[in-house]
Structure 1
Amino acid sequence: MQEIWARIEAALGRIAPEVVAAMPPGATEEEIAAVEAVIGVELPEDVRESYRCHDGLPGVLIGWHDALHSLAAMADDWRERVVDAGDPPWDEREEDGVIRRDVAWSAGWIPVIGIGNGDVICIDLDPPTPERRGQIIDWSHEGWRARYESAGLREFLERFAADLEADRYQVGGTGGARSGGGLPLVMLKD
């Protein structure tokens, strides 16, 4: 994960050095453990390793989503959504073995990136089969449905690093609250 973050930092440094200079330091083991206590699960090692490198990524929209949550934002977002955990889905969906379809929201879906409209990218710690634990899913508030994104945070961030290196991102002015205090906002090119 350190190598992936080094690639992200190098690519961002070419287009938005002030964003790189403002990137938060890594979280401590105590900070990670405190969030795990709040959400009631142990995070996968790739997630823990990523947060040891940087505690979130303000000012950088990943894909068409918002920035990577800090651990505090992760816990806050999870607290807001967990009240819906276990609710039945709005419609009958057939189990597909990839993502749980018997609930509209699971307490084991840990938000890591908001999308700004109520949707969220999550770490799936409650998949239908154990080998899928830690996969990344994209949950939509429209119909309360989720779709598969990647096998884990490592793969998700590797794709992001590759997109940065391929010059698919640009600086799009000052992002205000979305960029973490008026930093330039880094986003996908149209």
Structure 2
Amino acid sequence: MDGINGMDGMDGMQQIWARIETVLGRIAPKVLAAMPPGATEEEIGTAQAVMGVEFPEDVKVSYRCRNGLPGVLIGWHAALYSLGQMVNDWRERADDAGDPPEDDREADGVIRRDISWSAGWIPFIGIGNGDVICIDLDPPTPERRGQIIDWSHEGWRARYETAGLREFLREFASDLEADRYEVDDAGNKWSDNGLPLLSLKATG
């Protein structure tokens, strides 16, 4: 499914994308015009098969809407991966598997602490310094499946971000609507494919 047509049955994931696109059309039309269409069912199925996972439904719905979001630094992070970028990053993370230091293994019931990296942590935003934002499909308890975590290569630790991709993108849409993002048209910052770059405004 392309774009935001139809109902998603997930408390408004398509509506969230509609909000995002509305603001981008106003403040960064070049970015909106460059947004990729939604992923096909085959592309979603292939990504899941390669990584050996089943995405939560809201993740599938989001990627049916748009297969990535170049030119936008979401939060203080980076651009939303396409499924292809997600799989490539996930493959590279296989070398990160191993045991964390003993003093970092204390269970907290939120994120697995007995490992330094899990194949069930699905990267969907790469920060560029080795850190990644992930969809957690290997949490310590089933009800936390799909939560968003921020994994740091410094200390090989992860921290909780939000309950899921829907909440993550909803917060991004709200920040866009609240004029918390600025557009760099001059190319003075890094951007994907020469697009203008959207990033959070610096706070004093």
Taking structure 2 as the reference length, what is the TM-score of the superposition?
Answer: 0.89
**Mapped partners of 1:82, 1:133: distance in 2:** 20
| Contact 2:189–2:197 (8 Å) recurs in 1 | no
Partner of 2:180: 168
Partner of 2:171: 159
| Contact 1:62–1:187 (8 Å) recurs in 2 | yes
Partner of 1:6: 18
Residue 185 in structure 1 maps to residue 192 in structure 2? no
**Mapped partners of 2:64, 2:87: distance in 1:** 16
Count of residue correspondences: 189
1:178 CA displacement: 5.2
Question: Could you report, residue by residue, the CA deviation over 1:6-43 in whole angstroms, capped at 9, with x for unpaired residues?
Answer: 00001111110110011000000000000001100011
| Contact 1:19–1:183 (8 Å) recurs in 2 | yes
Higher relative contact order (CA 8 A, sep 6+): 1
Taking structure 1 as the reference length, what is the TM-score of the superposition?
Answer: 0.96
- Match of residue 126, structure 2, among 107, 114, 117: 114
Partner of 2:100: 89
SS in 2 for 1:92: helix
Map 1:39-188 → 2, pairs under 5 A: 39-85=51-97, 87-93=98-104, 94-173=106-185, 179-188=191-200
Unaligned runs of 5+ in 2: 1-12
- Percentage of pairs with the same residue: 74
1:119 CA displacement: 0.4
Unaligned runs of 5+ in 1: none
Question: Could you report, residue by residue, the CA deviation over 1:112-148 in whole angstroms, capped at 9, with x for unpaired residues?
Answer: 0011110000000000000000000000011000000
**Mapped partners of 1:55, 1:177: distance in 2:** 23
